[in-house]
Amino acid sequence: MESRRIIQVEEKVPFNLLVPLSIQHMFAMFGASVLVPFLFGISPAIVLFMNGVGTLLFIAITKGKAPAYLGSSFAFLAPAGIVISKMGYEYALGGFVAVGFCGCVLALIIYKFGSDWIDIVLPPAAMGPVVALIGLELSGNAASNAGLLDEVIIPENVIVFLVTLGVAIFGNIVFRGFLSVIPILIAVIAGYVAALACGIVNFAEIAAAPWFAVPNFQTPRFSAEAIITILPVILVIASEHIGHQVVTSKIVGRDLLKDPGLHRSLLGDNLSTMISGLIGSVPTTTYGENIGVMAVTKVYSVQVIAGAAILSIVCSFVGKLSMLIQTIPGPVIGGISFLLYGMIGASGIRILVDSQVDYGRSRNLTLTSVVFVTGLSGIAVQFGNIQLTGMVLACIVAMGLSLIFYVLDKLKLTNDRDEA
């Protein structure tokens, strides 16, 4: 690998390289992907299992032409958290199934009509703050997990939190090569070691766990309230997916939106999410961390991605590994999520920057302002048993305003339409 030769999408990789390269990809997604089930309060084993199955499904649907690893989606954290706290995880699973199904329908619509209409329903000036709200809404949870909001703050918790956060922050800044792709995983390990030194890790549960264990499968329950709360996320994940495919296209030097086609990759992504909801896992999405691995290693082979998927499935049956992840102390998770939630918020701002949103235009300034305040104000709208608040309500308001602006444009009633 010293020559940095590019290994293209369809190329086969020798076995002596396949295993370490696949392990790299699994490690890249590991830190972030297992954080989602931890925050949802479920076993990470089922998530590792579905990440692998979903990735293999994605590869099959895209005919082996789109290198992508599917990991746990952070876009669902805020709305799913609301559903879980009010109704339980089974109803969140029902919402995941509904989003996955609608995503498959969306893939069919894009196949027939293209994707330009997404920018009409949720333009960048609205999409940016909606994505930012996913992270900003959850910021309090990070401090709470770390024990920083307790009435009596335990010094050991603060030490572990600061070690974890410090490694995550400076790892992002100073790590090079492959290490620059896995700062989250390294920070989790560093935090875990610090927790061991502070005596806040209990190994009894890990020792008692079996080496072999079947993942904990669950079935979903369906509720209109849960589905409506989670469903607006579909446009966020669709835009995120398109963005990932554009970035991957630039890295591998091929237009993946045309071949195998956006409709195929979006179908693979959402079918995986639907199946995840049906068996008790969390929604999946193409992972930016693994796109980073490809950029660093210049290895784009789908065979390597498939190898990582198989390794993830194998790991899901290792009971001690699952228990090790479940015993990660709260201050470690708090330290990681402190940065991660902020990065989700910043990724929303990045959408505004990358899209070169012009705030000299009244509509853009108005959209962003109203969406941010709606999401952060604590306003809740009640429809029978269904309560809309936070990012979900902000997303619905954003879509409503965007459609109204579009109609006003067509009627030539807006004062900035000539600048569009």
Q: Is residue 419 part of a domain?
A: no
Q: How confident is the model at residue 289 (pLDDT cuts 50, 70, 90)?
A: low
Three-state DSSP state, 403: helix
Higher pLDDT, 230 or 235: 230
Domains identified in the chain, total number: 1
Report pLDDT digits (tens) over 73-113. Answer: 888 888 898 899 999 999 999 999 999 999 999 999 989 88
Listed range (132-141, 157-166, 315-324) with the worst mean pLDDT:
132-141
Phi, psi of 284 (to 5 degrees): -110, 160
pLDDT above 60: residue 420: no
The whole model's pTM is what? 0.76
From 59, 33, 100, select the one nearest 278 (Cα to Cα). 100
Report pLDDT digits (tens) over 168-224. Answer: 899 888 988 767 767 877 888 899 899 989 988 878 888 888 999 999 899 999 999
Higher pLDDT, 24 or 38: 38
Q: Is residue 12 part of a domain?
A: no
Q: Is residue 8 part of a domain?
A: no
Distance CA 303, CA 154 (A): 47
Report pLDDT digits (tens) over 367-382. Answer: 999 999 999 998 888 7
Distance CA 393, CA 397 (A): 6
Distance CA 405, CA 297 (A): 45
Domain hosting 336: range is 19-408
Q: Is residue 2 part of a domain?
A: no
Is 190 in contact with 167 (CB distance < 8 Å)? yes
Q: Is residue 347 part of a domain?
A: yes
Q: Is residue 63 part of a domain?
A: yes
Distance CA 262, CA 256 (A): 7
DSSP state of 14: -
Report pLDDT digits (tens) over 156-166. Answer: 989 999 999 99
Q: Is residue 44 part of a domain?
A: yes
Q: Is residue 3 part of a domain?
A: no
The H or E element that residue 96 is part of is helix 89-113
pLDDT above 70: residue 312: yes
Summary mean pLDDT of the chain? 86
Q: How many CA atoms lie within 13 A of 297 on its CB side?
A: 27
Report pLDDT digits (tens) over 348-404. Answer: 888 899 889 999 888 999 999 999 999 999 888 877 666 778 887 888 899 899 999
Residue 184 has which token pair?
A: 């989250």
